[in-house]
Amino acid sequence: MTIVRPIQLSDYDALYRCAEESGHGFTSLPLNQEILTRRIENSQQSFLKPSIDGQFTRQDESYLMVAVDSESNEIIGTTGIEASIGWDVPAYSYHISKVVHSSNKLKVRNEVKVLTLGNNYTGSSELCTLFLRPEYRQGLNGRLLSKCRFLMLAQFPERFSDTIIAEMRGVSDAQGNSPFWQWLKQHFFSIDFTLADYLTGIGSKGFIADLMPKLPIYVNLLSPEAQAVIGQVHQQTAPALKLLEREGFSCRGYVDIFDAGPTVECDRERIHSVQQSLLTKVEVRAHSSSQQYLIANTKLQDFRATLTKAAYDSERNTLYLAPEVAEQLLVETGDSLRVLAQ
């Protein structure tokens, strides 16, 4: 069984291994001991920060979690949510829009796409750091890592923004070369994509403001290779994008400033899994149901989530849960659960 729980300092080695395996373009897991340790510490502080009478002032909270194989106790992946982005470190993106060049006298009309630099998602909450180690990319592990965050959004809405976003990894090759970045590098930056990617991951974004073109970029002036990847995702990211699209996420024309991967967004209350999740009571007992449920307890500091078989009694609004599953979720008969049928 795979269990998702908040990350601990003792998980550092496993997190670093995930950072090594995630490869180029995965800015939320930089190969930097100080940054990774800081992310763990910030996450621990975030999970401990209390709300008062159901009210919570969002700042720079980061909820980073790990997926654990309950039999081997091995960490197999990570997932997380940033509560409010763009305040301490700017959240840059390009917005794709159109300008029209026309002359009635010459009877000429041309529509041209442009990329405009901005910080439009400042204050939004971001789904981030979703990584599943290659040997565990089977079964329902990927779905659990992605969708457990929606149960957290549903259970603790005061901790998150009304707008939820996810930055999708853009197109790059095995060496980390991005066609979009190659054009920017040639004309503005003169540094490799991997270095720019790393600097962004550790929060050193000052070079962006210093070197990024301030005026809108006409897309038709980019190289054909750069134009072709705008709004496209890395092949390894395609399944994650499809899952988010099924949840109601869509791209509103915002793309990453380095690899031009799309940013997708959805109102928190319109996310399918948030809308469909139920708050139920649990009864710990054996059952014979084959129905799969995504299940999370309702504790923040001791948050636990899994995807397993359970039986639901709608009349009693009660979920029957096997004793070994209840033990892993840290719940007893009478406790509350947040559940979602799969």
How far is Cα 78 from Cα 310, in angstroms, rounded to an integer? 25
Instruction: Tell me the domain boundaries of the chain.
Output: 2-95+117-273, 277-341
Superfamily of domain 2-95+117-273: Gcn5-related N-acetyltransferase (GNAT) (3.40.630.30)
Residue type, 308: T
**pLDDT tens-digit readout, 302-311:** 999 999 999 9
pTM given for the model:
0.90
Distance CA 183, CA 220 (A): 12
- Provide the CATH topology of domain 277-341: Barwin-like endoglucanases (2.40.40)
Kindly state the average pLDDT of the residues 51-68: 90
pLDDT at 233 over 90: yes
170-220 pLDDT tens trace: 998 877 788 998 888 788 776 676 666 666 665 655 566 676 777 899 999
- 176 Ramachandran zone, left/alpha/beta (phi>0; psi -120 to 50): left
Share of residues in the chain with pLDDT > 90 (%): 70
**Is 70 exceeded by the pLDDT of residue 287?**
yes
Using only C-alpha atoms, what is the Rg of the chain? 22
First to last CA, the chain: 16
Active site residues: 234
Residue type for position 164: I
| Residues 9-42: tens digit of each pLDDT | 999 999 999 988 887 657 678 888 888 999 999 9
